[in-house]
Structure 1
Amino acid sequence: MKRASRKIDNQAADSKPAGTGSSAESAFASYAAPLVVDAIEHANAVREDASPESLHQLRVSLRRLRSLWWAFEPLLDKGENTRQRALYKYLATAAGKTRDWDILIELITQDERVAHEIAPKLQEARGSALVTSRETLSNADVKHLLQDALTSASKELNTAHERVPLQTFVDQRVAASERSLKKRIKRASHAKRSNYAAFHDVRKAGKKVRYLLEFFEPVLSGSHKRVLKRLKQIQKRFGTLNDIVASEMLLRDNMGLLAGSGDTDAALNWLRKERKRRMRAAAGLLRKL
């Protein structure tokens, strides 16, 4: 296993941006290896660093891995690809359980009166969530899971009989992700404001497009400036909406845990008003896209 670890570390160190003349199969490791190294480093950091930023960075790195595996889905075994993407989602969720408390605490502090009353209980709940997150990530053995996933996918691609030009491949995959985003924007623009799932789908599709553009921008044909501008708007507007919705849900799900810690009804009322305001803002953006 140590030998495999050194091999992957060397892959990451030697990885150079793939050129337009490369094949998609041969270019995979140049994209995947650095992401695997980053995710492992962030997972290790979470064991020592309990800050919101360390958990956020781990979750982002795992989401980026999931998006990359989605991009290469047509070239990989379908069942194994689905399993790996589910694994990245599982690990990101483990980190996210603590991160969600961080977001709730940050939002609640905007109302000093409410925050003063329930902040101690929120911090206590956050501490318990952190213990669970760390235990889950430790038991999962993130380092070896990610290394094995990279080794397996690289081997499969390197032994493939056919070769697909990298530029052709990434143009097709980015176009597919952009079509998916447009479809979800259209669906959400006709949905009722109570249908948060439709708005959430726009946010997830936007993240995928953004990650793919970050991965492949140097070899993509054509300009994607208009899409990037749209993505920045979506990320900001829909990200703040998601924070509110997730925090309101988290608070509602833990009312028993927070009983007697202060005016939780006031906190819920503030979150509810914020949700409605940000839903209106998100709907307004959709009409402009």
Structure 2
Amino acid sequence: MFHGASMKQDSEAASPPVGESSAQQAFASYAAPLIGQVIELAEAVREDTSPEALHKLRVSLRRLRSLWWAFAPLLDKGENARQRAVFQFLATAAGKTRDWDILIELLAQSDSGAGELLPKLEAARGETLALSRETLSNADVKRLLQEAFASTSAELDSNQEPRIALRKFAARRVSASKRSLETRIKRASRAKRSNYAAFHDVRKAGKKLRYLFEFFGPVLKGSHQRTLERLKRIQERFGHLNDTVSSEALLREHAALLAGADDMDAALLWLGRERKRRMRAAAGLLH
């Protein structure tokens, strides 16, 4: 079994994927450095308690999940779903602390009048961080990711299906992701403002497409600047909406833990108003 560092070195030493190489051959060039990065970030959060460290880890795990989605047509469906579920579990473990960071940042920079609530939120964040670290440590991130890489690489190497050029494969997967995003945009544009799930689906689909452009952009034909600019706008507005929705839900979920804080109602009132404002901004982008 190889290590995350060696995977990263091997990938850096190899030439980047070219459009004429097969998708099966190119997988390792995409996966190895990303897995190495995730392993390093997972080890770093043992010492680095900053919001940025956890954010980077969660983003890298999401990119990893999107990469496995991209190569799903070449892989066994059950095994691919299992690997992606593992990545999701790890991202959720990192994300729980990150959610507290977002709530604290929102209230600290707002005029909600909830300043006295912040020390309690910081304490809750500290407890969640300890749990996140314990979960990631017990999960043995390094071993899980190495096994995922080895298993998927072996499956692609032994696959008897005809080889497909990376350029052609990448174009198909990006097109599939685009169609998924457009479907969700249409659904959200017809949904009621109270249907946040439809808006959240747009955000997830847009994020996945952006990751695919990051992976496959160099081997795709033509310019995709307009699409990327649109994705950036979607990510910004829908990301801001998600921050308020998640923060409001988190505060309500832990109302008992934060009992006795006089400014709890003020915080919820401000978050509710902010959610509606950001929902309107996101809806405006759909049209």
Q: Please tell me the TM-score bracket, short chain as reference.
A: over 0.9
When normalised by structure 1's length, the TM-score is 0.96
Contact 2:112 2:266 survives alignment (8 Å): no
In the TM superposition, what is the alpha-carbon distance from 1:156 to its structure 2 partner?
Answer: 1.1
- Alpha carbons of 1:63 and 1:130: their partners in 2 closer, same or farther (altered >3 Å)? same
Q: Which runs of 5+ in 2 are unaligned?
A: none
Contact 2:248 2:268 survives alignment (8 Å): yes
* Letter of the 1:229 counterpart: E
In the TM superposition, what is the alpha-carbon distance from 1:264 to its structure 2 partner?
Answer: 0.3
Separation in structure 2 between the aligned mates of residue 189 and residue 48 of structure 1, nearest angstrom: 44
Q: Partner residue of 1:258?
A: 258
Q: Partner residue of 2:246?
A: 246
Separation in structure 1 between the aligned mates of residue 37 and residue 114 of structure 2, nearest angstrom: 35
Q: 3-state SS of the aligned residue for 2:257?
A: coil
Q: Partner residue of 2:163?
A: 163
Separation in structure 2 between the aligned mates of residue 207 and residue 82 of structure 1, nearest angstrom: 19
In the TM superposition, what is the alpha-carbon distance from 1:9 to its structure 2 partner?
Answer: 4.0
Separation in structure 1 between the aligned mates of residue 214 and residue 73 of structure 2, nearest angstrom: 20
Q: Partner residue of 2:194?
A: 194
When normalised by structure 2's length, the TM-score is 0.97
In the TM superposition, what is the alpha-carbon distance from 1:5 to its structure 2 partner?
Answer: 5.3
Q: Partner residue of 2:211?
A: 211
Q: Partner residue of 1:20?
A: 19
- Alpha carbons of 1:262 and 1:15: their partners in 2 closer, same or farther (altered >3 Å)? farther
Separation in structure 1 between the aligned mates of residue 20 and residue 206 of structure 2, nearest angstrom: 28
Separation in structure 1 between the aligned mates of residue 108 and residue 4 of structure 2, nearest angstrom: 43
* Letter of the 1:58 counterpart: L
Matched residues, number? 286
* Letter of the 1:258 counterpart: L
Separation in structure 2 between the aligned mates of residue 95 and residue 209 of structure 1, nearest angstrom: 22
> Superposition RMSD on alpha carbons, in Å?
1.3
The C-alpha deviation readout for 1:164-213, integer Å capped at 9, x for no partner, is: 11111000000000000000000000000000000000000000000000
Separation in structure 1 between the aligned mates of residue 235 and residue 211 of structure 2, nearest angstrom: 12
Q: Percent identity?
A: 66
In the TM superposition, what is the alpha-carbon distance from 1:7 to its structure 2 partner?
Answer: 5.2
Q: Quick check: 152-161 or 53-62, which moved more?
A: 152-161
Q: Which runs of 5+ in 1 are unaligned?
A: none
Separation in structure 2 between the aligned mates of residue 209 and residue 251 of structure 1, nearest angstrom: 31
